[in-house]
């Protein structure tokens, strides 16, 4: 019985899996915020390279991964699949728990799976610089890592509070050669306008997005890059699920349950889409795909499925997704990567159609699970990832009740070595269990923009 199930480098997937053609009906298109008509490739070309726009709408089930991208992914891929024997024992469950560990990447999470691909396509189209935003820095550090491999400049607008309070991610970005500015900054009109009104503001992800988009739109040599939500980002993450499927096949098993945490949705998409494809095609109708989100920001479990803006300012195309409203500012939970008002349109659609389901948890129970895992399997995981773990543990406990020997797979999407202050707050009993008051809000969601 192996603890680590490994693939050779030669066994790494050479194609991304695109779920779009396997949907029973086409995905609702993104709409232009001004015209409310479906966006055209030209609308997006001001800030994205053409190849990524093609991937965003591609009808092809499999899209080849360029050799230059594979070469860099090979630095840590294929990532290991672990069997969590010690967690199973601690839970006294007959379930078999496997996890795919993405914390082995240099930036420590699944994020570089798409960052490398995005940097590559921008380089190919002659772009010299990429601008992006980052909250705590996980995405920013992944893009800094990726751009340095293709000799691209990288400008990162980091939310000011994180810039000041969580310096290590910023230092990682600088080590990889990116420039990192606290947002709001004086480099953009959006930033200046905010600073004029609120000179002491601690910033927000919404402001940082506006700055990065403005930077890209106003510089010909610069493009914008997004670390989650969009179809092409989910696509690039499917290497995770494809590898996991191969690794489980070596164990001669297929998962009964696949679990991942959802903020924008790309890491859950990465682990689950290859299995969702099997489900859609009728090959494994019963596989249970579970998205886990925070009770403080429960877009999939408590939001409405409708068109909404992707950002706070309402500048992006309207996306059909589960949303809590684009003006919703989630509270300061420690799983910062899950603080997003919406969710990937693809994940939203699959949840809406019943192909996947979603559950939500409070912070304290999530950290309790993370501490248990640290003590059984050793890894101190990121607070975001801990949501997926909590969902897994609950499934395993159900198996203890029923006696079922289910195979549970979860995406261990990153380590929490820069999140120790969050663990400290948990240990000191200082974490609040924020919760979205869904029942009270239901009637006040009428302000969402109307669809076509």
Partner 1 sequence: MERISDPCIRIGFLVNPIAGMGGRVALKGTDGQFAEAVRRGATPVSTNRATTALRPIRDLPLFFLTCSGEMGENALRESGIKDYRIICQCPSRSSAEDTRRACHDFMNEGVSLILFCGGDGTARDVFSVVEDHIPILGIPSGVKMYSAVFGVNPVACAEIVTHLNEAVLRDSEVVDVDEEAYRRGMLATRIFGFARVPVLPLKTQVGKQIFDEPDEELAKKAIALFFSEILRDDTLYILGAGTTTAEIASNLGIEKTLLGIDVIKGKVLLARDADERTLLSFLSHGEKAKIVVSPLGAQGFIFGRGTQTVSPVVLNQVGVENVIVVATPHKLAETRMLYVDTGDEALDRAFGDSVLVISGYRMGQRKRILHPTTSNQGGPKH
Which residues in this chain contact partner 1 in the complex, by CB under 8 A? 135-136, 159, 161-162, 165-166, 202-205, 295-296, 324, 328-334, 336-337, 339, 362, 421, 425, 429-430, 432-437, 440-441, 443-444
Cβ closest to partner 1, residue 48 vs residue 328:
328
Tokens 């990121």: give the residue: 382
Q: Which of 114, 18, 27 is nearest to 345 (CA)?
A: 27
Smallest distance, Å, CB 443 to partner 1? 7
Token couple for 59: 């009808």
340: DSSP letter: -
Between CA 228 and CA 366 the distance in angstroms is 22
In the bound complex, what is the minimum distance in angstroms from residue 299's beta carbon to partner 1?
Answer: 13
**CB-nearer residue toward partner 1: 60 or 171:** 171
> Tokens 């491999």 label which residue?
149
Of 216 and 324, which has the nearer Cβ to partner 1? 324
Nearer to partner 1, 285 or 430 (CB): 430
Order across the sheet with 357-361: list the strands: 4-5, 81-83, 96-101, 407-412, 257-261, 288-294, 357-361
Task: Look up residue 440 and give its two tokens.
Answer: 């009270």
Q: Which of 152, 191, 192, 154 is nearest to 170 (CA)?
A: 154
Q: How far apart are CA 385 and CA 395, in angstroms?
A: 16
Instruction: Quote the least distance from Cβ 434 to partner 1, whole Å.
Output: 6
> Shortest distance, CB of residue 334 to partner 1, whole angstroms?
7
To partner 1, the closest distance from the beta carbon of 414 in angstroms equals 13
Bridge partners of 342, per DSSP, are none
In sequence order, the 6+-apart residues with CB closer than 8 A to the CB of 202 are 159, 160, 161
Whether 300 contacts 293, CB under 8 Å: yes
Residue that is written with structure tokens 């050669």 in the block: 177
Minimum gap (Å) between residue 201 Cβ and partner 1: 10
Cβ–Cβ under 8 Å, residues 347 and 268: yes
Provide the minimum distance between the beta carbon of 389 and partner 1 in the complex, in angstroms, as a whole number: 19
Residue number with CB closer to partner 1 (8 or 443): 443
Would you state the structure tokens that stand for residue 416, as one six-digit string? 């929490």
In angstroms, the CA 217 to CA 196 distance is: 22
Is the CB of 165 or the CB of 186 nearer to partner 1? 165
Cβ nearer to partner 1, comparing 125 with 327: 327
Q: Which is nearer to partner 1, 135 or 277 (CB)?
A: 135
Token look-up 């691209």 returns 152
Minimum Å distance from CB 90 to partner 1? 25
Question: CB of 366: closest distance to partner 1 in angstroms?
Answer: 13
| CB-based contact 209:238 (threshold 8 Å) | no
Closest to partner 1 by CB, 278 or 365: 365
**Cα 328 to Cα 309: distance, rounded to the nearest angstrom:** 11
Distance CA 294, CA 261 (A): 9
Instruction: Closer to partner 1 by CB, 40 or 421: give it.
Output: 421
Tokens 């790309």 belong to: 266
Angle at the Cα of 48 from the Cα atoms of 44 and 51, rounded to 5 degrees: 100
Least distance between partner 1 and beta carbon 422 (Å): 9
């Amino acid at each position: 019985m192996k603890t680590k199930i490994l693939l050779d480098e030669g066994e790494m997937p050479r194609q991304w899996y695109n779920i779009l053609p396997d949907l029973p009906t086409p995905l609702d298109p993104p709409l232009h915020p001004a015209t409310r008509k479906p966006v055209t490739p030209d609308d997006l070309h001001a800030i994205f390279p053409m190849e990524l726009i093609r991937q965003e709408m591609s009808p092809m089930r499999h899209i080849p991964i360029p050799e230059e991208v594979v070469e860099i992914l090979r630095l840590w891929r294929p990532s290991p699949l672990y069997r969590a024997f010690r967690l199973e024992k601690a839970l006294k469950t007959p379930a078999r728990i496997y996890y795919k560990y993405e914390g082995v990447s240099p930036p420590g999470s699944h994020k570089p799976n798409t960052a490398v691909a995005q940097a590559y396509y921008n380089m190919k189209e002659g772009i010299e610089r990429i601008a992006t935003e980052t909250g705590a820095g996980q995405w920013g550090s992944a893009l800094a890592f990726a751009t340095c491999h293709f000799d691209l400049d990288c400008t990162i607008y980091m939310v000011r509070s994180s810039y000041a309070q969580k310096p290590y991610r910023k230092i990682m970005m600088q080590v990889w050669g990116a420039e990192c500015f606290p947002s709001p900054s004086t480099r953009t009109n959006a930033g200046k306008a905010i600073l004029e009104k609120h000179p002491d503001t601690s910033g927000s992800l919404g402001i940082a997005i506006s700055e990065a988009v403005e930077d890209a739109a106003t510089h010909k040599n610069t493009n914008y890059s997004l670390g989650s939500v969009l179809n092409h980002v989910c696509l690039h993450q499917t290497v995770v699920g494809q590898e996991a499927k191969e690794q489980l096949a070596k164990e001669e098993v297929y998962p009964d349950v696949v679990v991942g945490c959802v903020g924008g949705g790309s890491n859950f998409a990465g682990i689950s889409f290859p299995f969702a494809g099997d489900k859609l095609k009728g090959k494994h109708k019963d596989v249970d795909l579970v998205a886990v989100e925070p009770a403080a920001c429960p877009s999939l479990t408590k939001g409405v499925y409708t068109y909404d803006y992707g950002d706070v300012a309402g500048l992006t195309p309207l996306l059909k997704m589960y949303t809590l409203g684009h003006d919703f500012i989630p509270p300061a939970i420690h799983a910062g990567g899950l603080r997003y008002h919406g969710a990937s349109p693809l994940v939203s659609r699959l949840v809406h159609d019943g192909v996947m389901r979603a559950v939500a948890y409070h912070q304290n129970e999530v950290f309790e699970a993370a501490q248990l895992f640290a003590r059984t399997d050793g890894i101190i995981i990121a607070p975001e990832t801990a949501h997926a773990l909590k969902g897994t543990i609950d499934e395993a406990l159900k198996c203890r009740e029923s006696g079922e020997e289910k195979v549970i797979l979860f995406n261990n999407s990153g380590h929490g070595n820069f999140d120790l202050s969050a663990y400290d707050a948990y240990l000191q009993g200082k974490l609040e269990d924020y919760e979205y008051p869904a029942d009270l809000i239901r009637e006040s969601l009428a302000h969402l923009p109307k669809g076509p």
